Structure 1
Amino acid sequence: MRFSALLISAFASSAIAFPTFSSLMGRQEKACMTEAEGKEIVDLYVRLISNYKPEDCEKYCASDFVDRSDSINTFIFRPLGEPTFATKEIFMEAQESNPPFPVEVDVIDAVACEAVALRWHATFGAANLPSRGITIIGTTKREGYWQIKSLDVEFNSLIWLLNMGGSYVWEG
């Protein structure tokens, strides 16, 4: 019994005396978003889609920004699985030419260390039907504030197509 207590004590004191592996490798602990910061990121995302201003994107989208969406790729004839907007500049150009879409956030499902998951809907256009979607926002903390590094977006593209005045024929 005495040996066990001494052994545990020795191991405990050695853990305190020796630096951690990550500190030896020079790594810093990652900053993690709070729920309030996650909400701010979601508000920014909504502005980027429904009330686009280039200055928001310039400041709050990371330099290595990427947007991925097979839902959008079907509309712009891009191969599924490839980035929709591979750079911040391509995203900005697309947003400048797109009409605003009235994105309404239904719920923020999760705020993780560097990511936010949310569900939303947009009701607009010819059919005026609610197209439901999900977005995962990847972030990074640079220049002292959180920036959007990636968007992974999927939504009901058939309803979106109807809202844009298009149509489809089901062949089954």
Structure 2
Amino acid sequence: MRFSLAVAAFAGSAMAIPSLSSLSLPSFLSRRADCLTEAEAKEIVDIYVRLIANYKDEDCEKYCADSFVDRSDSINTFIFRPLGEPTFATKKIFMDAQGSNPPFPVVVDSIDAVACKSIGMKWHATFGAANKPARGITLIGVTKEKGWWQISSLDLEFNSLIWLLNMGGNYTWEG
């Protein structure tokens, strides 16, 4: 009788324990379904490189969100925009600019961070008159409003003095 009571007590307590599938794991052990995976982040970085190094309107139409914005004080210095303001405030402005710019050979050095809806990466581009590597960093924001990941924002900075030399410009250091 004692054995059957113990089994009944154990069986009753086991029913009160939630199944493993209903437990929520700490965030470092699981990733929410509405967050980027490492593989998806790599795909977004590849799209970013295409948008800069081999621009096509079709890529931008599909992979840049309607709310897209690009911010870069490095670029703002070249196009005479005030520092701190969006460089390309809309997808259309970005498309027009990229369509008229020559491609730049962007090489991804590393993808350093993948968060739920953002990617941090380092890159360099070696080209032009000086042919020196201009190093940069880009933070890519993403959204999944249309059912697939799209770039919603770009925040980037790079060595604009090296970029200037590569474009055939020069500067004088006044110390």
TM-score normalised according to structure 1 size: 0.83
SS of aligned partner of 2:165: helix
What are the superposed Cα offsets for residues 59-105 of structure 1, whole Å, 9 maximum, x if unpaired? Answer: 11000000000000000000000000000000000000000000000
SS of aligned partner of 2:144: strand
User: Is the counterpart of residue 91 in structure 1 residue 128 in structure 2?
Assistant: no
The structure 2 residue matched to 1:32, chosen from 32, 35, 43, is 35
Please state how far the C-alpha of 1:39 moved relative to its aligned partner.
0.3
User: Is the counterpart of residue 134 in structure 1 residue 137 in structure 2?
Assistant: yes
Alignment partners' CA distance in 1, 2:146 and 2:138: 24
Structure 1's unaligned 5+ residue stretches are: 1-12, 14-28
Matches within 5 A, 1:23-172: 31-172=34-175
Please state how far the C-alpha of 1:156 moved relative to its aligned partner.
0.1
Residue identity opposite 1:112 in structure 2: A
Residue identity opposite 2:134 in structure 1: S
Alignment partners' CA distance in 1, 2:155 and 2:51: 14
Structure 2's unaligned 5+ residue stretches are: 1-15, 17-31
Q: Which residue of 1 is the match for residue 6 of structure 2?
A: none
Task: Find the structure with the greater CA-based Rg.
Answer: 2
Residue identity opposite 1:138 in structure 2: G
Q: How many residues align?
A: 145
Alignment partners' CA distance in 1, 2:140 and 2:119: 5
Runs of 4+ displaced beyond 3 Å: none
Alignment partners' CA distance in 1, 2:36 and 2:102: 31
Alignment partners' CA distance in 2, 1:114 and 1:130: 29
Alignment partners' CA distance in 2, 1:143 and 1:149: 12
Residue identity opposite 2:173 in structure 1: W
